[in-house]
Amino acid sequence: MKLELRGITKRFGDLVANDRIDLTFEPGRIHALLGENGAGKSTLMNVLYGLYTPDEGQILVNSEPVEFAGPGQAMAAGIGMVHQHFMLVPVFTVAENVVLGHEPTGPLGLIGLDRARALVRDISARFGFDVDPDALIEDLPVGVQQRVEIIKALSRDAEVLILDEPTAVLTPQETDELIEIMRQLRDAGTSIVFITHKLREVRAIADEITVIRRGKVVGTATAQDTEAELASLMVGRAVSLGVEKAPAQLADGEFTVSGLVVTDAVGRRVVDDVGFTVRGGEVLAIAGVQGNGQTELTEAILGLRTPIAGSIVLDGTELTGLSVNDVLDSGVGFVPEDRSTDGLIGSFSVAENIILDQHDRPPYARGIAMDLRVVRERSEAFVEEFDVRTPSVEAPISTLSGGNQQKVVLAREMSRPLKLFIASQPTRGLDVGSIEFVHKRIVAERDHGTPVIIVSTELDEVMALADRIAVMYRGKIIGIVGGDVDRDVLGLMMAGVAPESAEQEAAEHPTLLHEADVIADDQQSEEPS
Amino acid sequence: MTQEPENPESPVVPEQDPGTGARGNRDATRPDDQWLRDAMHRMLTSNWLVTLLAIVAALVISGVLIAIADEDVREASTYFFARPLDTVSAAWNSVAGAYASLFRGAVFDFQAPTLARAIRPITETMVAATPLIFAALGLGMGFRSGLFNIGAQGQVLMGAAAATYVGITWSLPVVVHVVMAVIAAMVVGGLWAGIAGFLKARTGASEVIVTIMLNWIAIWLVTYLLTTTVLRQGGSRPISPAVGENARLPLLFGEGFRLHWGFLLALGAAALVWWLMERSTIGFKFRAVGANMDAARTAGINVNMIFVFVMVTAGILAGLGGAAQILGTDKTLQAGSAGSIGFDAITVALLGRSRPLGTVLAALLFGALRAGSPLMQTVSNTPIDIVLVIQAVIVLFIAAPPLVRSIFFLPSPDRPRRVKEVAA
């Protein structure tokens, strides 16, 4: 099936999210759509999937114009989509999820679950998926859940499969398996649309690459182009992908967590006997796949959660049992992982967000009276220093882009003398320019002699910033390794393999992405660009 | 490969973060009456124009009801097809007559023989508005702090009971007595509301449920006190003796008018609440908790403490409303003294969008409806219940801004929402 988009334009008010986009997806090709967050990739795919109606333009299936009033019609036309956040019912089995919405029914309208099981087995066998139709979704690892989503799409005879940021939640090894699946599907004639902002993956598997920037197609590229070339096309200017930093200069200041245990609402140990030490002037990255206890660990440090055992000591002061306010007062700067929920108050102004945790002390307040003039002056200074692009400090923060919002959070947390700086997912959802800025500020804080903890699920970010890396898996720290560790080793550790055996295994079975890197490095050294 | 030199920071499509992932168990503490909070949020963010148009629409719809209920109109309509203009003019007469008498009863009586009688209606409106202003100010603070306090009724009643107790049992000199009675009402009202705040902070109990239940407890507790103990007058009627002369709020314009100092106190309270919410660190915390509880907590604000604080403040204001009603207007306490002040105050706070100025204006509107309705009934024979219809229809429209906008062909103010909301 050949799918074409012609002149697709989608506007939201004054905002043109898609501007006359032309694209053709050929059968049996992996077509990567590369673009930054906010470039309009997802809008385009939602148009294709019938979730949005385009303002202008046409969708053609096998050269016939079609219109989709909803996902049902798109599915009927042979378009399947695997969303970034899976659309699965956790308490249903694989088979039940696959047939959900178009259940095969027997006499009396009873669901024919046997047929559903057979369907799952059939598709699994065809592509070697190894999925048990009777397993409950909630018991399955994320990588397998994703395969269930793919089976779901294939079971509706999808000939075009859209994968929206499919690797965001996967370990490198799981990514590898996904790439293998994508290749098999391609060889079987399925057209695959692969949406991503990860350059490395694009180069490893795409047959065609289309780059989208601010709603427009700005160019096409091939897998032979270097990452730097792809990045500059994506961003619109030359970018430096790495982070420049000198070797860590250890300073005074020590932050130690030992024997920390945190349980969730139902009593599971989400942080299980975690211990580590960070010295002043170094960055400890806590790596791991999302949901392995990193969030709970940072919340326990900040005092948002009460640990049931263990201690958290900053420069000799015990932090456990203190209120959030006291923890902040003892010199902890904290960038939460979800800035829109925990970091910012959307309806408050930029200025109010900058002083959020300092609003009730001098110089912002005397007694209970706030000094709005000082608030304004200081926040204007911070906006200047952190290069926040905002019409004024009175503008509601929700009108700013993600990058500028994150700069406001950084400005707030870094605007006072710190004894410890913790940042969770500091660059999630940011454009490349903001990522550069945030990374520079974090390195500057480290060079200032502050102990820094970075929690990130992005391997690239971990590798770029860390002096040492602690990998969390199911609430435990599986190992702490140096910042120069091999990517594959890190990937295996994120999947729960102990450091020693991870090293061995990585040497024996390098991942596809790893090999692609090596080849690319060779090419680059042969013909320097 | 081509490159356009462009500034990467200029407007981008606001897209949601690629992943929020597992959010831990803090969601479990989120109240499950989220729909109520969302509805409340919608009412608070609707703009002034919508509020005004809602009032206009309510008056129009009530006008239709007034016409239908009118005898002359119904009579004329029996021969509508023969002489349609009769029906139209009868309808016009009934609606115009009703609203004119409402105006005369609530604002300015242009048919009155003396100036004093002519301006008396507006002072009556202020008298009726006084307790509403107090109670609605407190409720509005709660709404902006994310607390849906339904308990103004009970808080007003408890404040009124406390003021009455001090007023009838203590014997104090002139200024001191009324001040003590007012303070007693504030303390008791604040404590009564504080129960709900404490339960929410300690156990997560929904303040909606707890305050509704506390209303009932307050009503029957006051009835008990009126029939059995200290507040009892003697005789069979559940009514207290009149409060002492010294405990009464002084009249503003002498005996001819019922308007008392409570009204000025209410305006003062409105100014104070404005300062507290907009210019003080306390209000900053209140607003932060109301707008984003998680972010407030992460910024070191003790959210549970704020819950108690907000409820106590709201209770103090509602208690003041009760004191004003007894010490200023009624002089004696009955189980029905609070009337529907506590519930009307919810509407007033929503109508005033929880802002002090808006609350004062909305309370004056409701006070006017209340003050004007008796004259409307006697002069133009319009049922007094029509006032309740007007109030209810206003609420209905305020709660559904898109409805008002479509009636009056206003554009939708919703900015393009996050592009990825469907996919995420």
Shortest alpha-carbon distance between residue B205 and chain A (Å): 17
Together in a domain, A168 and A75: yes
Q: Is residue B368 domain-shared with residue B396, that is, in the same domain?
A: no
Euclidean distance between CA atoms A524 and B241, whole angstroms: 97
Number of domains in chain A: 3
**Interface predicted TM-score (ipTM) of this complex, two decimals:** 0.79
Interchain CB contacts (distance < 8 Å): A and B = 200
pLDDT, residue A390, reads: 86
Q: Closest partner residue to B18 among A46, A84, A218, by Cβ? A: A84
Asked whether residue B225 is domain-assigned, the answer is: yes
Size (chain A), residues = 529
Please measure the distance between the N-terminal and C-terminal CA atoms of chain A and give it in whole angstroms. Answer: 38
Asked if A324 lies within 8 A of B12 by C-beta distance, the reply is no
Is there a contact between B424 and A304 if contact means CB atoms under 8 Å apart?
no
- Give the closest-approach CA distance of B24 to chain A in angstroms: 7
Domain contains B74: yes
Closest CA to B306 of B152, B206, B158, B200: B200
| Chain A residues closer than 8 Å to B282 by CB | 368
Number of H helices, E strands in chain A: 18, 22
Return residues 142-171 of A near B (CB < 8 Å). 164-165, 168-169
Boundary-marking domain end, from A177, A203, A235? A235
Q: What average pLDDT does range B363-389 have in this prediction?
A: 88
Same domain, B173 and B89: no
Alpha-carbon distance of B132 to B155, in angstroms, equals 12
Alpha-carbon gap, residue A302 to A327, rounded angstroms: 6
- In this structure, the answer to whether residues A127 and A53 fall within a common structural domain is yes
Q: State whether residue A394 sits within 8 Å of chain B by CB.
A: no
Task: Please name the helix (run of DSSP H) or strand (run of DSSP E) that holds residue A257, with its range, or none.
Answer: strand A251-263
User: Is the same domain home to B234 and B287?
Assistant: yes
| A338 in a structural domain | no
- 277-296 in chain B: CB under 8 A from chain A: 279-282, 284-285, 287-288, 291-292, 294-296
Question: What is the pLDDT of chain A when averaged over all its residues?
Answer: 87
Structural domain that includes position B154: 133-373
Choose the final residue of a domain: A416, A445, A476.
A416
In a domain, B19, yes or no: no
Residue B18: its pLDDT value, please?
36
> For residue range B5-36, what is the model confidence (pLDDT) as tens digits?
433 333 333 333 333 333 333 433 445 566 66
Paired tokens of B115: 């100036």
Distance (Å) of CA A210 to CA A23, A220, A228, A498, B345:
8, 4, 15, 39, 59
The nearest alpha carbon in chain B to A263 belongs to B25
For residues A220 and A292, membership in a common domain is answered with no
In a domain, A184, yes or no: yes
Range of A352's domain? 346-416
pLDDT, one tens digit per residue, over A364-417 is: 998 899 999 999 999 999 999 998 888 889 999 988 878 889 999 999 999 888
**The pLDDT value given to residue A238:** 75
Count other Cβ atoms within 10 Å, centred on residue A454: 26
Handedness of CA B169, B170, B174, B179 (dihedral sign): negative
Domain identity same for B333 and B237: yes
Please state, in angstroms and rounded to a whole number, the distance separating the CA atoms of residues B385 and B299: 49
Q: B-chain residues within 8 Å CB-CB of A390?
A: none
Whether residues A78 and A91 share a domain: the answer is yes
Q: How far apart are CA A305 and CA A297, in angstroms?
A: 9
| Domain co-membership, A327 together with A364 | no
Residue A69 confidence (pLDDT): 86
Segment holding B196, helix H or strand E: helix B174-203
Q: Do B393 and B319 fall within a single domain?
A: no
**Could you tell me if A320 and A363 lie in one domain?**
no
Domain assignment present for residue B162? The answer is yes
Q: Which token pair is B94?
A: 């009934």
Tell whether A235 is within 8 A of chain B (Cβ). yes
Does residue A506 belong to any structural domain of this protein? yes
CB B134 within 8 A of CB B142: no
Give B31→chain A minimum CA distance, Å.
15
For residue B21, the one-letter residue type is G
Mean pLDDT of A441-458: 92
What does R_g of chain A's alpha carbons equal in angstroms? 25
CB–CB of A176/A487 below 8 Å?
no
The pLDDT value recorded for residue A340 is 86
- Indicate if B291 and B164 belong to the same structural domain: yes
Confirm whether A337 is domain-assigned: no
How far is A502 from A404, CA to CA, in rounded Å?
Answer: 39
Within 50-109 of A, beta carbons closer than 8 Å to B belong to 51-52, 83-85
Residue A43, chain B, CB below 8 Å: the answer is yes
Percent of chain B with pLDDT over 90: 48
Distance separating alpha carbons of residues B148 and B32, to the nearest angstrom: 13
Does one domain contain both A261 and A210? no
User: How far apart are the C-alpha atoms of B342 and A119, rounded to whole Å?
Assistant: 61
Is B115 an 8 Å CB contact of chain A?
Answer: no
> Does residue B224 sit in the same domain as residue B310?
yes
Please name the residue of chain B whose CA is at the shortest distance from the CA of residue A336: B298
Average pLDDT on B360-369 reads 94
Q: Determine contact: B23 vs chain A, CB below 8 A.
A: yes
How much is the average pLDDT of A98-113?
81
A133-142, A287-296, A508-517, B268-277: which range is least confident on average? A508-517
For residues A310 and A428, state if they share a domain. yes
Q: Which residues of A182-219 are buried (b: 16+ CB within 10 A; e: fewer)?
A: beebbeeebbbbbbbbbbbbbbbbbebbbbbbbbbbbb
What are the backbone angles phi and psi of residue B21, rounded to the nearest 5°? 65, -160
Say which CATH number the domain at A436 has: 3.40.50.300
Find the CB nearest A264 among B2, B3, B24. Answer: B24
CA distance B51 to B156: 26
* A344 in contact with B, Cβ within 8 Å: yes
Q: What CA–CA distance (Å, rounded) separates A17 from A34?
A: 15
φ, ψ for residue A32 (rounded to 5)? -90, 135
The DSSP result for B9-61, as a single string, is TS-------S-----GGGGGGS-S-HHHHHHHHHHHHS-HHHHHHHHHHHHHH
B166 shares its domain with B41: no
Same domain? A359 vs A454 = no
Q: Are residues A71 and A185 in the same domain?
A: yes
Place B178 in a pLDDT band, splitting at 50, 70 and 90: very high
Q: Are residues A424 and A411 in the same domain?
A: no
Q: What total of structural domains would you count in chain B?
A: 2
Q: How far apart are CA A260 and CA A511, in angstroms?
A: 34
Is the CB of residue A422 less than 8 Å from the CB of residue A455?
yes
Q: Does one domain contain both B193 and B317?
A: yes
Would you say residue B102 lies in a domain? yes
Q: Which ranges in A10-70 belong to alpha helices (H)? A: 41-48
Q: What is the pLDDT of residue A377?
A: 93
The answer to whether residue A328 neighbours chain B at the CB level (below 8 Å) is yes
Q: Alpha-carbon torsion A525, B1, B5, B10, what sign? A: negative
From A15, A299, A302, residue closest to B416, measured CB to CB: A15
For the stretch A456-497, pLDDT in tens is 988 888 988 999 999 999 899 999 999 888 888 888 898 888
* Torsion angles phi and psi, residue A421, rounded to 5: -125, 125
Residues A324 and A352 in one domain: no
Question: Is residue B214 in some structural domain?
Answer: yes
Residues B92 and B205 reside in one and the same domain: no
Residue A147 belongs to some domain of the structure: yes
- DSSP H/E element including A271: strand A269-280
Q: Are residues B389 and B347 in the same domain?
A: no
Q: Are residues B313 and B180 in the same domain?
A: yes
Q: Is residue B308 packed enough to be buried (19+ CB in 10 Å), middle (13-18) or exposed (0-12)?
A: buried
Query: Are A352 and B415 inside 8 Å of each other by CB?
Result: no
- Contact yes or no for B88/B79 (Cβ under 8 A): no
Chain B residue with the nearest C-alpha to that of A343: B295
The domain boundary, picked from A202, A218, A235, lies at A235
